[in-house]
Structure 1
Amino acid sequence: MSPNVHHTLVIVVGAGLGGCAAALAMHHAGFEVVVYEKIKKFLRLGDSLGLGENALRLLQRWGLHEQLIRIGNKSENMQIRRWHDGKILAVQPLMDMAGYIGHRGDYHDAFLGRVRDCGIPIHMGHKVVQFNEEKPSIILEDGREIVADVIIGADGIKSLARELVLGFQDAPKSSGYACFRAYFKGEPLKAIPECQSLIQKDCVNIWIGPDMHLVQNTLRDGEEFNWIITHKDTADIKESWFQPGDMDEVRRLIVDLDRTIASAVETTEACLDWKICYRDPIPTWVSRSHNIALLGDSCHAHLPTSAQGASQATESAAVLAVCLKLAGKDNIPLATRTYEKLRFDRVRQSQLNGEDVRDRWHNVLKSVDAGQEINPDDVKIKNRWLYPFDAEADTYARWDEVSKIVREELASGNIRPLFDPKTGPARRLVEYDALGNPKVSKHNIAADPPMPQQVVVS
């Protein structure tokens, strides 16, 4: 461990899942950590969220594992079904989808609890209104300025830190899709004969149809029930978890849906309407002075179908912490710039996985005749390659190789961008085979299955 580790102060802006993961990773690495969050009190917001083995492996080291396992869905498998009649097209282990699926609010409470157990201060109701990247420091709404050695912008999809890094306001773009979402107590469903198979025990089912799909999740043996319908939507962009949904529109969308799930949706009293927005990959995750680094949704937001948003934020936290430890307090630029290069390609492929599965689900039934069988592989989620990966071990294994490139770029003053909208990634950091699958690496101390190789390709 670097002798300067214990004297390094890290400020984390944002106490969401990504911010909490960053705080735990920094604490585990030996840094002093302080978290600032603009919200005064968190509510139990959202609905289903998954944590994959790739994240749980790290969280276990940080003292947060069994709490999460208790929260998650206990079903072993998920069923991918045909929209109109519920015919099972494929069965997959639930771990292949999103790992352990639980309520986002419950997971968030567990993350917050562990941060506090570690003695990490979380200053709630402290809104950051400005960054001074040269010191670096944050300036709060009340005018106070707090200086640190490094600042992590984990302030979500509407990140102020992201604007600083980019140098301009980055407006969201419509993905062309929206989600109607509902999460409620399962007791009223017990009186509906058609949906009894969905409420007897934990289960996950996905109905796929032309240009839409529905994910159903039962938790606590039927005590809680969740459905999410992703559908085409070209309405004005409004990123909000609180926008009420139109249940009449929902019923119109499900008029030809399998009665097993349609019967549950039709009796739902209210839902939310979430416009799925995205932002293009950005050329850097690090500010001009190299002292402020982005993490999670502020730099690599995921579509819901990726089932990896929180897991990838956890990986990013682990990688940044190891980079800061290896570089030492006097070389923050080397740490932050190596971090972004280590992370970009894997995160980008994870994001694209979400687009791929959505597009396959929404189109596979368009090209087949009524009696034609679907190849199960055409509808399966293909996240399995993500899970054996050990972000900390990979960072140690590749540090010398990637940090050497970064040293040269810092010395020349020519920091190559991570991504150019016209040409794509500036440098491939992951090698893939002819089928688009990441190659195997020896750098994995956590599991027997192979993990994707990540090597720098000039």
Structure 2
Amino acid sequence: MSDAIPFHPSDPSRTRVIIVGAGLGGLACAMAMHHAGFEVVIFEKVREFLRLGDSLGLGENALKLLQRWGLYEELIAIGNKSPNMNIRRWNDGRILATQPLMDMAGYIGHRGDYHVAFINRVKQLGIEINMGYEVVAFDEDAPSITLQDGRTYYADLIVGADGIKSKARELVLGFSDAPRSSGYACYRAFFKGDILKDIQPCQPLLQKDCVNIWIGEDKHLVQNTLQDGKEFNWIITHKDTEDIQESWFQPGNMDDVRELVQGWDETIASAIKATPSCLDWKICYRAPLPTWVSKSGKIALLGDSCHPHLPTSAQGASQATESSAVLAFCMKLAGKGNVPLATRVYEKLRFDRVRQAQLSGEDLRNRWHNALKHLNDGEEFDPDDIKIKNRWLYPYDAEADTLARWSEVSARTQVELDSGKITPLFGEEGPPRVLTVRDAYGKIKDAASGENSVLPGLTV
């Protein structure tokens, strides 16, 4: 065990922030904290990042923040260039609805490529990313982290952006919250388009960037073509109750996948039949947390460690980016020495909006999986019933909203801190369940600038 080594900023008067985890959420948080004028260091247990995962989208609500932090053109270059997406019937490919691709998740690209862009920007800002250093212990009062090699680092604030299997979350909650099966799983594949060059039925999918969604009873498939056919991606969400560990890297059985798409539109079924391999991701559910902050208020959770999203929400990375902006802005408004006030306001500002974004994923999945049941019963079909309803999320400006609500929420929060009675975010003693997605969309969409509009201040 080596002696404790404090993290000394170049200017002791500056706020010091340690971020645990260098995923998209942790990197976005680093940019936000740097933008706020703080000194930041990141610790990541992985020694080297590989180009893992597949499709990921960044909505306008995230892009406006990233643009302020100096990262924009690189992201636009990565994303899908198709103006629209088509929602189709599973068996014959009939187009049931068409809407702008920006309504789904903004610019959709490979998660690994976005990750590289985030890393490069963080490095440009001079922020240190320490790779291959696993955090094994937290001291919430110091606050500090202890690495596996025994070294201890101190800061004013520690951010746990360490993912869905977060160690920081265990400290905040005081126990390990085991994931529960959602009853669904995803088969996922991402590969070079050349694999399909001789498969005639799927040629229309290779000609240029496109996004197509096939919906069926209790299942749906999202297909994404990037770089004018050079890269191809599909994701099938289906019912599954098999008990397999929560993992992004569980190999899938392609025979099972091919059986699953028997009788599907040959345009996509032919592509799946030619797919060499896939991953089997069991989608697990985690109940909303009663708090995102340690008892001392000096360790805060961010991203998947406190608000994981379903794939159908298309907002996981975007909401982590928003949370980064809000946490950094709260720290700036609270001032050095008022970290507990900043983190408690942060969680209160974020919880309802994040919960609505999470519910949007459940709502969309359910609408897609049930739409054709009604159609088959002879009921009149309304294309709006299967459209993605994320547009209400985009006008939101995380920094502007924090500034506007700071006085009221911080005053209320200070009373709670003084009394020692913190209202939980969720649970029997906490606030009631937020609006359903349909209600939230109905109430908020009128305030948006239009279904296809670009938000003020954002260059697209």
What TM-score do the two structures reach when normalised by structure 1? 0.93
| 1:260 equivalent in alignment to 2:267 | yes
The Cα of 1:193 is off from its aligned counterpart by: 1.1
One of 437, 449, 452 as aligned partner of 2:443: 437
Select the residue among 314, 337, 341 that pairs with 1:307: 314
Supply the RMSD in Å over aligned alpha carbons.
Answer: 2.2
- Over 3 Å counting, the alpha-carbon distance change for 1:302 and 1:431 in structure 2 is closer
Q: Give the corresponding residue for 2:168.
A: 161
Shift of 1:188: 2.2
One-letter identity of the residue aligned with 1:344: F
Matches within 5 A, 1:50-449: 50-369=57-376, 374-420=381-427, 422=428, 425=431, 436-438=442-444, 447=455
Secondary structure of the 1:170 match is coil
Give 1:430 shift.
11
SS of the residue 1:123 aligns to: strand
Question: TM-score scaled by structure 2?
Answer: 0.93
Tell me, what secondary structure is at the counterpart of 1:165? Answer: helix
Quick check: 1:153–1:293 contact (8 Å CA) kept in 2?
yes
Equivalents in 2 of 1:314, 1:291: separation in Å? 20
CA distance in 2 between counterparts of 1:447 and 1:383 reads 14
CA distance in 2, matches of 1:6, 1:245: 52
Query: 2:79·2:108 contact (CA, 8 Å) conserved in 1?
Result: yes
User: Are 2:30 and 2:40, in contact at CA under 8 Å, matched by a contact in 1?
Assistant: yes
1:195-251 deviations in whole A, cap 9, x for unaligned?
Answer: 111000000000000000000000000000000000000011311121110011001
* Structure 1 residue identity aligned to 2:313: S
| Native 8 Å contact 1:132 1:138 kept in 2 | yes
What's the secondary structure of 2:297's corresponding residue?
coil
Seen in structure 2, the aligned counterparts of structure 1 residues 5 and 78 have a Cα distance that, compared at 3 Å, is: farther
Match of 1:97, SS state, is helix
Matches of 2:114 and 2:390, distance apart in 1: 21
For 1:430 and 1:253, locate their aligned partners in 2 and report how far apart those are by CA, in whole Å.
31
Structure 1 residue 8: deviation in Å? 0.7
Structure 2 distance, partners of 1:342, 1:362, is: 32
Post-superposition Cα deviations, 1:256-303, rounded to whole Å, max 9, x if no partner, equal 110010000001111110101121000000000000000000000000
List alignment gaps of at least 5 residues for structure 1.
450-458
1:223–1:134 CA distance, 2 compared to 1 (3 A):
same
1:437 maps to a residue whose letter is K
Moved more, 228-237 or 352-361: 228-237
User: 1 CA distance for matches of 2:448 and 2:394?
Assistant: 15
SS, match of residue 105 in structure 2: coil
Show CA shifts across 1:405-438 (max 9, x none).
Answer: 1011011110000000x57635869999687533
Aligned-partner Cα distance in 2 for 1:220–1:254:
26
DSSP-derived class of the 2:42 partner: strand
Within 1, Cα distance between the matches of 2:12 and 2:396? 26
Contact 1:416-1:426 within 8 A present in 2 as well: no
Figure out how many residues of one structure are paired with residues of the other and give that number: 443
CA contact (8 A) 1:173 1:237 kept: no
Cα distance, 1:278–1:428 mapped onto 2, change above 3 Å? closer
Residue number among 25, 29, 51 corresponding to 2:32 in the alignment: 25
1:427 to 1:197, Cα distance in 2 relative to 1, 3 A = closer
TM-aligned CA distance change 1:435 to 1:312, over 3 Å: closer
Aligned to 1:453: none
Percent of residue pairs identical: 71
Residues 58-77 of structure 1 show CA distances to partners (whole Å, capped at 9, x for unaligned) of 00000110000000000000
Q: Which amino acid aligns with 1:447?
A: L
Question: 1:431, 1:439 within 8 Å by CA — same for their partners in 2?
Answer: no
